Amino acid sequence: MRLSVSPSMFAPFALVHIIILVSILLLPLTQSSTLEKNGNGDLIDQICKKTPFYDLCSSTLHSNPLSPKTDIKGLALIMVNNILANATDTLSYIEGLIKQAPDRKMEQVLAFCAESYIPVVKYILPQAADAISQGRFGFASYCIADAEKEVDACDKKFSGVVQPPLSDRNDIVQKLVDVATSLIKLLLKG
């Protein structure tokens, strides 16, 4: 005897199958924005590919033992705290240079840079870190842009100087800031 399957019996199963199929098809779409770890290398490499400085991003995040494996917010926070450490070091380097400035002009430019870095280190980056922790990514993005402006202003002061003493350090901070900007953009996209 043949088993007869009437359409009315089959229909509910088909619907379930369609729902499962559609869910499976949509799953990668809903997950792509959060970039969950999916076997194509780790999250750090995946997100660093979306920044303008892959090597700097990857080495900075990989070298921090606290880097989370699965969470972009945590990685963005580590990046901002790394910029803070780097900028703090640059500020004390500038203060050292001011003391031994060869001439008045150089002393003034260095003092200008110290004044650019002080708010970055004292307020702007700590505020950016707080904003990321609290999920206020729009404000974090604003703070990071502000930090970038300050460092750019310092860097421009050396135009015409033959051996600008801060160009390497400013360059690193600017690149790290660009990386942080990209990470925060990913967070803003959700």
Ligand X SMILES: *[C@@H]1O[C@H](CO)[C@@H](O)[C@H](O)[C@H]1NC(C)=O
Contacts with ligand X by CB under 6 A lie at 56, 60, 85-86, 89, 172
What DSSP line would sit under 154-189, residue for residue?
Answer: HHHTTTT-SS-TTHHHHHHHHHHHHHHHHHHHHHHH
| Min CB(176)–ligand X separation in Å | 7
Name the residue number minimizing CB distance to ligand X.
Answer: 89
Nearer to ligand X, 14 or 85 (CB): 85
Distance CA 138, CA 132 (A): 9
In terms of CB distance, is 93 or 112 closer to ligand X? Answer: 93
Report yes or no: 181 and 134 within 8 Å, Cβ to Cβ.
no
Alpha-carbon separation of residue 48 from 42, 75, 125, 127, 161 (angstroms):
10, 10, 20, 23, 34
Q: Which is nearer to ligand X, 34 or 174 (CB)?
A: 174
For the bound state, the minimum distance from the C-beta of residue 86 to ligand X, rounded and expressed in Å, comes to 4
Query: Minimum distance between the CB of residue 53 and ligand X, rounded to whole angstroms?
Result: 10
Nearest distance, CB of residue 117 and ligand X, angstroms: 13
- Nearest CA-CA partner of 89 in 176, 157, 171, 169: 169
Closer residue to ligand X (CB): 157 or 169: 169
